[in-house]
Amino acid sequence: MIESGQLVMLVSPKGKRYFRVLQTEDILNTNDGQLQMQNVVHQGYGAVVYTHLGRAYTVLKPTLYDLIKSVKRRTQIIYPKDIGYIIVKLGIGPGCRVIEAGCGSGALTTALAWFAGNSGQVYSFERREEFAALCRENLEKIGLESRVKIAGRDIAQGFGVKDADALFLDVRTPWEYLEHIPEALIPGAPMGFLLPTVNQVSTLLAAMQGGPFSSVEVLEIIVRRYKPVPERLRPEDRMIAHTGYLIFARLGAASGQDDGEPADFIFEQEKEYVEP
């Protein structure tokens, strides 16, 4: 039995997915007929329920991957393969206060809210109101809107947030906003950026030199899927290769010298792990 207020995913016979925050009295109207949410409550996850026309729908508990892939979009979303690494690098967890700019359709926003939990807070900045509205709509559909504050503030004027635990910028010219990062984060906090081209990455790295940034990392993540056929196991014909360059750093002290000179820009290459 599923409790009222829980999130469910209903999968149609043709694979179409519907997400609902479950309310017993609700009715889901589909091309296959009406589906009584009361039946979903009593049957529980993993069960099959039927519309009034006799069409079978599977009741599943959605994963974060399901939610990210289902967001209604008007912009290119950040892919799950990148989101996973972003979450780990930024240390997002329950109670985390995180800043993001450029929420777009809200794929990363969804993941940040998911991991920050009810005790955390996501501060999301989006200059274009149509994208901010779409992000709100996607969050409301899955019941995560209370964990996110979306503002139309221009971050060129600063973030208006202090002592946040992490920051991620998905904007075209992030180097223009570096000066506002120290006042928004706690000392030593992690930060990340997403950029589509190498020349943008170079511009960002040049702008970070001499500033309070350390442990800099630049990478891209490529996933290669295989056809799950035991007798003919082979890579799929198509793959999503390059989606963007990820840049990470930590906020350090602006001055590492007694004379006030800026600290050196530290590039830290990840060490290869060797088993003892």
Q: Which residues contact 248 (CB under 8 A, 6 or more apart)?
A: 89, 190, 191, 192, 193, 215, 216, 217
Cβ–Cβ under 8 Å, residues 200 and 229:
no
Please tell me the number of Cα atoms within 13 Å of 177 on its side-chain side: 26
- Residue 133 and residue 82 in one domain: yes
Split into its structural domains, the chain has a count of 2
Which of 19, 63, 22 shows the shortest CA–CA distance to 44? 22
- Residue 38 and residue 103 in one domain: no
Q: Is residue 100 part of a domain?
A: yes
Q: Residue written as tokens 């208006």?
A: 160
| Collapsed DSSP state (helix, strand, coil) of residue 160 | coil
Please tell me the number of Cα atoms within 13 Å of 64 on its side-chain side: 19
- Residue 194 and residue 174 in one domain: yes
Cβ–Cβ under 8 Å, residues 98 and 90:
yes
Reading the block at residue 169, the tokens are: 């910028």
Q: What pLDDT is attached to residue 42?
A: 87
Q: What pLDDT is attached to residue 253?
A: 64
Q: Is residue 261 part of a domain?
A: no
What is the signed CA dihedral for 109, 71, 46, 11, rounded to 10 degrees?
180
Please tell me the number of Cα atoms within 13 Å of 56 on its side-chain side: 5
In the chain, which stretches have pLDDT less than 50?
255-276
Q: Please tell me what DSSP assigns to residue 164.
A: B
Which of 256, 220, 193 shows the shortest CA–CA distance to 265? 256
276 vs 91: CA distance, rounded Å: 26
- Residue 54 and residue 148 in one domain: no
Q: Is residue 224 part of a domain?
A: yes
Q: Is residue 256 part of a domain?
A: no
Q: Is residue 232 part of a domain?
A: yes
Cβ–Cβ under 8 Å, residues 31 and 18:
no
- Residue 114 and residue 203 in one domain: yes
Instruction: Give the domain extent around 44.
Output: 7-62
Strand partners for 167:
99, 191
Q: Is residue 268 part of a domain?
A: no
Strand partners for 35:
28
E-strand stretches of 153-241: 166-169, 190-195, 213-219, 226-227, 234-235
- Residue 15 and residue 93 in one domain: no
Cα end-to-end span (Å), the chain: 48
Q: Residue written as tokens 């200059």?
A: 127
107: domain CATH number?
Answer: 3.40.50.150
40: domain CATH number?
Answer: 3.10.330.20
Q: Is residue 133 part of a domain?
A: yes
Question: What backbone torsions phi and psi does residue 86 show, to the nearest 5 degrees?
Answer: -60, -45
Q: What pLDDT is attached to residue 218?
A: 98
Q: Which residues contact 93 (CB under 8 A, 6 or more apart)?
A: 115, 116, 117, 120
- Residue 20 and residue 137 in one domain: no
